[in-house]
Structure 1
Amino acid sequence: MAMFSKNADDIQGDVEAQIAALRKEISKISASLPDLTSERFDEVKRIATKQAKHAAATARENPVATIAILAGAAVLVGLLARR
């Protein structure tokens, strides 16, 4: 019986060590999340700015097409709003 209790104590010690290691890893991940979120936000902001500039340039180059697209979008929104 003593053999089993020693094994149980060893297993409990191993489990506790694994839990401690997991807590430490979770703490590292939690600490790095704000950096990752900030980096991702900056990337999305940069891409959105680039796309907005491209859309504005395209609208300036093709004013008639831009007006037609906006009119079509307005009609579509109006039809959807009526439902």
Structure 2
Amino acid sequence: FRNNPTAISDKVYLTCGIYESLIYENRSIAPLLQSTGMDVKYVEARDGHNWENWRDTFRNGLSWLFPGPLWMVYE
């Protein structure tokens, strides 16, 4: 992909914990995705690669990818 970046979607939501081992790879892929014309939102969380990070960022990611009224049946 890095050799021939191509838009694979209209929007990409990318989140990464600052304590993840792949933080540098995540930081470098965001501008590459943007260079293809995709709308990219990159968010770093003060966490690692774990359930808590995913749980805390999942709703914001879905809301950004699919804007509109929220229907959270578990609330």
Counting strand residues as a fraction of each chain, which structure ranks higher? Answer: 2
TM (norm. structure 1) is 0.25
Structure exhibiting the larger radius of gyration computed from Cα positions: 1
Counting helix residues as a fraction of each chain, which structure ranks higher? Answer: 1
TM (norm. structure 2) is 0.27
**Structure with larger RCO (C-alpha < 8 A, sep 6+):** 2
